[in-house]
Amino acid sequence: MAFTPLHDRVLVRRIESEEKTKGGLIIPDTAKEKPAEGEVIAVGAGARDEDGDRIPMDVKAGDRVLFGKWSGTEIVLNGEELLIMKESDILGILTD
């Protein structure tokens, strides 16, 4: 099933955090927080301004992004847990 976000919404796949700390300690699943980093899977066409013109999106599919801890709505699509959020919920784009 294909999914295309509408307006200024973004579909994001969470990127799981490390299983160990830098010191080598293993973090149990019960102590892990949900990661606030993800990969953009799909983006909408952008919101419209007061004149009806499209406002282009700053993110694109494939971008690695950081988002707020409580951002987005969790959905299951084709058996995979994903997030739908507004572009404004994204805090920034990660680059190498």
Q: Is the pTM of this model over 0.85?
A: no
The tokens describing 53, both together, are: 């013109």
Closest among 17, 45, 18, 38 to 89, alpha carbons compared: 38
CATH topology of domain 9-94: 10 Kd Chaperonin, Protein Cpn10; Chain O (2.30.33)
Domain boundaries, the chain: 9-94
Closest among 95, 17, 14 to 59, alpha carbons compared: 95
For 9-67, the pLDDT digits (tens) are 999 998 876 565 566 666 665 555 566 889 999 999 998 989 989 999 999 999 999 99
Q: Do residues 46 and 7 make contact, with C-beta atoms less than 8 angstroms apart?
A: yes
For 25-39, the pLDDT digits (tens) are 666 655 555 668 899
Q: Is 96 exposed, middle or buried (0-12, 13-18, 19+ CB in 10 A)?
A: exposed
